[in-house]
Structure 1
Amino acid sequence: MPTVADTHIVNRERVQPTHANNYESAHGGIVMKWMDEIGAMSAMRAARETCVTAQMSRVDFERPIPIGNTALVESYAYATGRTSVRVRIEVSREDPRTGETEQTTSAYATFVAISDGEPTEVPELTVKGEKCRELRDTALAEEPER
């Protein structure tokens, strides 16, 4: 059975001018695309199947990511249903010269496992160790109403 730790993914994207809005920071739609892609990877690690986005809720854009900074996208699965995987996604801006980070965006998403074009059952997600428990408990405590 997959664990919360098995689904934890961290990815970086350098914010280029082609990713920017009129204010020289990452366009919200581009940030959401990165979040969706990395979130799906976490879901697939949990489901052991291809997953598609069913919904994304409470996307909070707290501050911009300027051109030249790195978008640090982090996600992990924290709960499963019969065919669904719930994922927490957080984005931080990272200064590529110093490594200094600051959270910019967060969201919750639900993905559905698909096999042969149909929803398919997913294994139960297990929690092993204090870090897994902390990640899961934090996500559950902050999860928006479903």
Structure 2
Amino acid sequence: MKVSSKVKYAVEALLELSSRQEEYVSVAWLAERRSIPRTFLEQLLLKTKRHGLTTSRRGPDGGYRLAHEASDIRLGDIYAAVEGPLDLCACGRGKDDTRSADAMLEGIWLELEGAIRTYLDGVTLDDLRSRGAEFPAAVEHTYTFSI
């Protein structure tokens, strides 16, 4: 299983918002701070808003902020908001042929999906923040030129 850039960027953005719980943060500032392409970030934040994870406000003091406490936003919520439901098993759900390899493995894939969902639903933004004492800013790029 490979975690997409959408999920990685959404988690980064929401972690950043969690450190500014009461403020509205502009997309431009957030994109620059986390080195996330702005248009991509806008799309992700719209998805998190539609799923009730963030709220937004227009205007010069506008932007996005978390809709809930960081302790109430789970990785599973973020994943579902930007990727849709977790679906490892695109095998023959509901097919009658129980002899196919897909049908034989379907139960295993479904158990794995359940275990991943349970794990992701057990980790909150607060948990992530506490794992890495301070969420670091995006890597500053330093360029050295020698002539």
TM-score tier (shorter): under 0.3
Q: Which has the higher contact order (CA 8 A, sep 6+)?
A: 1
Higher helix share: 2
- TM normalised by structure 2 equals 0.24
- TM normalised by structure 1 equals 0.24
Higher strand share: 1
